[in-house]
Structure 1
Amino acid sequence: MASTVFVLQLVVRMLSFPLYLLKFLGLWNQISKKWFPYYMMKFSVTYNEEIAGKKWELFSNLQDFVGPSGKLSLLEVGCGTGTNFKFYPPGCTVTCVDPNPNFEKFLFKSLAENRHLQFERFLVTAGENMHQVADSSVDVVVCTTVLCSVKNQEQILHEVCRVLRLVLEPAWYLVFDGCNLTRESWKTLEQASFSKLKLQHIQAPLSCKVLRPHIYGYAVK
């Protein structure tokens, strides 16, 4: 059995040699990025038909995560052709992230077919580096058939945690006399007309993790 597997692997490697040669020459990345969206557009139709039941089940409770704004803010990492759009609830605001810019035309075609959504923006970047998305700014992050292809799974999950809002926020606001855990007070201070502003961001040594992010410093009129 082991010898059979070895022979099959050897055959596959020999057949794949032209692809590895193109990759070595720096050409395969350009070719695959243009070819892959066309393949995914065809593949996703069949895939969605076969797995639709599971997707409806998976996304059925998205509305439960609506944030303080009253609208569901959703970030999809590795959005591809927008194959998940039809499963999202009406009025959902969608931000799309994908490192392949060639998905854009397919993405907007899917958006045109899903008018129940509100499109925010399409960011051409890897999920491991979503610096254009602010901390604690989205209610839900969707990531399907993506983690198999990313370079750093730990980093992308770290980014997902960073951009997600706190689930505690709505209840915290009521219980703790209007306290807003995700208010970006430093931005308001920066926009104020102080002649001098010196702030530092720290993680306070507190037992409650949601209270750890602090800013401290001073402002001069």
Structure 2
Amino acid sequence: MEASCLVLLLRTCMQIFLLPIYLLWYLGIWAPFCKKAFPYFMASMSVHYNTKMNTKKKELLSNLSDFASPEGELTLLEIGTGTGANFEFYPTGCRVICTDPNPNFKTFLDKSLSQNPHVKLDNCLVASAEDLHQIPDASVDVVVCTLVLCSVENTGRVLSEVLRVLRPGGAFYFMEHVAGDPDSWSLFWQQIYAPAFNILFDGCHLTRETWKDLEKAGFSELKLRHIHAPLNWNPAKPHIIGYAVK
């Protein structure tokens, strides 16, 4: 009881501190500003994140080629491509379809493509993860999603779209920050910082239990593990990492 009261008190203090931003949001000023500024923040943050998570990302994406088509080609859809921070981990010659709801990432995406010529861009779409109607059913071998499911509006709908566009036997790779264990210090700080992350980082939710959505999505096989990311002091340390087969 005392811990929950302390969380409520500190969370309220955080919301009071953020009142000027809430006012800008209410006036319709904050959202368009955030959409333009967020890619610049992510361009810097992605470099730091890849440095800290390099080993984990390499390990996760090391077997992407196992899901190539019988012809040996790998068609990969990345949801929420952002700055293209995952391109360096993709196998040579793979064809990538990029999607992101924020068109302001394009400059950074183009730069990443020029730095990773081993990746072939198939298409680049401005689209939300919940509505990928421009991508035909069963048309991709692999879907990749990293640090995206925390900010989508409907996780279940996103996973339904993933299953729709994957060919039978295709795989969905994910690396997402999630809620900490109950009664842990991680969850304690997440609950306090949740309002700040949500409004400052384009709708990011710190306390989502994304693994539960994955477990009930309907994949034939799910390989998932919880890790504690080496991100120095950061309430987004708890992660899930793995892949699921259609």
Is TM (by shorter chain) over 0.5? yes
The Cα shift of 1:17 comes to: 1.0
| 2-structure distance, mates of 1:66, 1:6 | 49
Amino acid at match of 1:46: H
| 1-structure distance, mates of 2:56, 2:29 | 38
After superposing on structure 2, the runs of 4+ consecutive aligned residues of structure 1 that deviate more than 2 Å are 1-7
The corresponding residue for 1:90 is: 92
The corresponding residue for 2:69 is: 67
**2:119 is the counterpart of 1:100:** no
| 2-structure distance, mates of 1:129, 1:87 | 26
Residue from 49, 52, 58 that aligns with 1:50: 52
| 2-structure distance, mates of 1:23, 1:69 | 50
**2:140 is the counterpart of 1:129:** no
Amino acid at match of 2:17: L
- Deviations 1:5-26 (Å, cap 9, x if unpaired)? 3332222111111111121122
Which region of structure 1 is more displaced relative to structure 2, 3-12 or 65-74? 3-12
| 1-structure distance, mates of 2:71, 2:150 | 33
- Flag the structure with higher strand content: 2
Q: TM-score, normalised by structure 2?
A: 0.66
The corresponding residue for 1:38 is: 40
Q: TM-score, normalised by structure 1?
A: 0.73
| 1-structure distance, mates of 2:53, 2:23 | 36
Residue from 129, 139, 155 that aligns with 1:153: 155
Aligned residues between the structures: 168
Q: How many percent of aligned residue pairs carry the same amino acid?
A: 52
The Cα shift of 1:28 comes to: 1.4
| 2-structure distance, mates of 1:21, 1:120 | 41
The corresponding residue for 1:18 is: 20
Larger radius of gyration: 1
The Cα shift of 1:166 comes to: 1.2
Higher relative contact order, chain-length normalized (CA < 8 Å, sep 6+): 2
- SS of the equivalent of 2:23 reads helix
Residue from 5, 8, 21 that aligns with 2:7: 5
| 2-structure distance, mates of 1:35, 1:84 | 21
| 2-structure distance, mates of 1:161, 1:73 | 15
- SS of the equivalent of 2:146 reads coil
| 2-structure distance, mates of 1:159, 1:100 | 19
**2:80 is the counterpart of 1:78:** yes
| 2-structure distance, mates of 1:152, 1:7 | 29
Which region of structure 1 is more displaced relative to structure 2, 33-42 or 13-22? 13-22
The Cα shift of 1:126 comes to: 0.3
- Deviations 1:164-185 (Å, cap 9, x if unpaired)? 01129xxxxxxxxxxxxxxxxx
The Cα shift of 1:96 comes to: 0.5
| 1-structure distance, mates of 2:163, 2:7 | 40
Amino acid at match of 1:35: A
Which structure 1 residue ranges, 5 or more long, are not aligned? Answer: 169-221
**2:121 is the counterpart of 1:119:** yes
Which structure 2 residue ranges, 5 or more long, are not aligned? Answer: 171-246
